[in-house]
Amino acid sequence: MKTQINWGIIATGGIARKFAEDFRFVENGTLLAVASRSQDKAQHFANDFHIERAYGSYEALAEDPDVDAVYVATPHDTHVELSKMCLEKGKAVLCEKPMAVNAAQLESLLDTAEKSGIFLMEAIWTYFMPVVRQAKKWVDDGRIGNIKMIQADFGFKTPENPKDRLYNPALAGGALLDIGIYPLAMAHYFAPGEIADIKASAIKADTSVDQTLGMVLTYDDDIIANLTASFRFQMENAAYVYGDDGYVKIHGNFWHPHKAVLMKDSGIEDIVEDDRLSTGYDYETNAMTQWLLEGKKESPVAPFSWSRKSVETMDKIRELIGVKYPFE
Amino acid sequence: MKTQINWGIIATGGIARKFAEDFRFVENGTLLAVASRSQDKAQHFANDFHIERAYGSYEALAEDPDVDAVYVATPHDTHVELSKMCLEKGKAVLCEKPMAVNAAQLESLLDTAEKSGIFLMEAIWTYFMPVVRQAKKWVDDGRIGNIKMIQADFGFKTPENPKDRLYNPALAGGALLDIGIYPLAMAHYFAPGEIADIKASAIKADTSVDQTLGMVLTYDDDIIANLTASFRFQMENAAYVYGDDGYVKIHGNFWHPHKAVLMKDSGIEDIVEDDRLSTGYDYETNAMTQWLLEGKKESPVAPFSWSRKSVETMDKIRELIGVKYPFE
């Protein structure tokens, strides 16, 4: 029986570096290989993180018989193709969000996963954060009564640069897919019901993708989610779950938070704090490593049904705000 | 030349009591009279606040030749009728929000005000708070760059009681008119442009009025306002003005705040705090008293154009969420 999972990383950008840095906190896993389309870049990355194998093509990494699981950290528009390639070669896949840029793409990927019987998970790292899990436990334990509203904002400032991936429609750019997915993930995490209605407004960049978003989701159990996202300005980036008997505030940046408080009329009733040394990618990596060792085929925390809900919500919002990618 | 304004209060409910309590901080004004539909209630109120004259009808107060200005603090649906009565008898009017429950009612009231040439102001007390005024100054001085988004929430918890004014459609109940008007007022205060688009969703009470709201306003200068209101649960009730070079957070309860901070990437850059002893109604009363002494006919802070914008926005939102009052 396997006791150790060998990981590979596809891509060498900023998020891949953070993932590799956090790997020192992963148990029962080894970061064995990294791949770039450039052998130099791969080798440089491998040197930085003491990774044994550096590949100058993604295919080469996927062919490595010693690699068990692959983290796909390329731009959005390539996720489906590369994840499929890895699954077809028998590698478990942790794919960055959004795993697919629309529902049709996602179904084609899930089809491959189901046919191959290989583990595939969308990298919604926020769900694995200790602070977020404690916030969920408070809510599930009824500490704030019945959920009434969820609020979450993700705003940071980046210059309006049409050459930036974020602004490029051909690379599935825009605030929604890149960061709006996090406030939406908060809503999906805390609102148990089906989405009954969605309202959304966007400010577009000159490249026609959304740069600022306001979204209101209504659920069939009368919960409202009020969400925003922008890459044109910095926000406080807290998330709130409001109940009829108190609320939980997850302090900014809520997608990898260090603190949450449980508020009642009388003031703060409970606090959870996280003094981790990692950025926080290690939690999802540890969880997936464990599930692979246990022989699981799907993530209990972010199953295929979660990815479906996520992408279908974003498809609907893009329809409402009129953002269509050239490849669609 | 007049050096003192004699005030009267119409109604003796909770907000009238707070107004009267705060009157000790009003300069150049005397609280001369109070009126209720019950002589007993009026006398009781007058005794509590050492008010010289107590009237058992609103008309009697409006007839008092010594009264210069009247504060109208009755339920929403009576505002227009009572304000008109006072104006027609030559009394300046400070009328609680919403001054009118729809645009048609408002126009009829403004028509009376314009014909009479008497001062009339909607009691948007928030605009007179020192902390809010400092926040506005920071924004006007360009300290946060170009405004990008406004956020504000007003949530408190009240039992779902169909007999409560808040739940009664015949009294123009619902969260929007009662408290949603405050987050909207924040948007109107900080967003200089015209509203280009409004999205809104509501959860309704069994009485068919809105009890929880999510609203997204888009302005023609690409500012988004993301606002909520509910009387089913307690919220943090902060307001935010986000710019591309920092943001202002007005701490809860933002409608009569004690603190605001100016945030930059490097952290808190400026703070304003208010250690007033009043609830805060004295600021609007002082301002209006001064304007009356100066002979002004309209409020420079909340002119008729403000009331028009406010009620027209709420009319549109009620249309979107399907809330119509039986008298409409």
pLDDT tens sequence across A100-109: 999 999 999 9
Instruction: Quote the minimal CA–CA distance from A50 to chain B in Å.
Output: 34
Percentage of chain B beyond pLDDT 70 is: 100
The residue with tokens 């119509």 is: B324
More confident residue, B159 or A225: A225
Cβ separation of B224 and A214 shorter than 8 Å? Answer: yes
> B211 — contact with chain A (CB < 8 Å)?
no
CA distance B117 to B88: 10
Tell if the CB–CB gap between B212 and A199 is shorter than 8 Å.
no
| Residue A85 pLDDT grade (very low, low, confident, very high; cuts 50, 70, 90) | very high
- The ipTM is 0.94
Q: Which residues of A touch B234 (CB under 8 A)?
A: 242, 246-247, 263, 265
CA distance B15 to B23: 12
Q: What is the pLDDT of residues B39-81, one digit of tens each?
A: 999 999 999 999 999 999 999 999 999 999 999 999 999 999 9
Count the Cβ atoms, other than its own, within 10 Å of residue A315.
16
Of A91, A90, A110, A94, which Cα lies nearest the Cα of A102?
A: A110
Q: pLDDT tens, A114-140?
A: 999 999 999 999 999 999 999 999 999
Chain A, window 59-98: residues with a beta carbon less than 8 angstroms from a chain B beta carbon: none
Question: Which of B147, B150, B153, B157 is the best mutation test for A, with the most CBs of A within 10 A?
Answer: B157
pLDDT of residue A235: 98
Q: How confident is the model at residue B156 (pLDDT cuts 50, 70, 90)?
A: very high
Q: Does B206 touch chain A (CB under 8 A)?
A: no
Q: What is the mean pLDDT of residues A57-72?
A: 98
Would you name the residues of A annotated as active-site residues?
97
Q: How many angstroms separate the CA of residue B317 from the nearest CA in chain A?
A: 13
- Residues on chain B touching A213 (C-beta within 8 angstroms): 224
pLDDT at A1 over 80: no
Q: What confidence tens digit (pLDDT) does each residue in A34-52 have?
A: 999 999 999 999 999 999 9
pLDDT of residue B107: 98
pLDDT score at B192: 87
Q: What is the pLDDT of residues A185-201, one digit of tens each?
A: 999 999 989 999 999 99
> Is B97 one of the catalytic residues?
yes
Name residue B289's amino acid.
T
Residue B106 pLDDT > 80:
yes
Q: Would the pLDDT of B202 be above 80?
A: yes
All domains in chain B, ordered by first residue: 5-125+281-297 (3.40.50.720), 130-273+310-321 (3.30.360.10)
* pLDDT score at B252: 93
**Distance (Å, whole) CA A41 – CA A26:** 24
- A·B CB contacts under 8 A: 112
In this structure, are residues A250 and B235 in contact, taking their beta carbons and an 8 Å threshold?
Answer: no
Is A233 near chain B, with CB under 8 Å? Answer: yes
Q: How far does the CA of residue A3 sit from the closest CA of chain B (Å)?
A: 45
What does each C-alpha distance from A34 to A55, A72, A85, A162 come to in angstroms? 6, 10, 16, 29
What are the contacts of B55-59 at 24+ separation with CB within 8 A?
Answer: B58/B10, B58/B82, B58/B85, B59/B85
Would you call B252 an interface residue with chain A, using a CB distance cutoff of 8 Å?
A: no
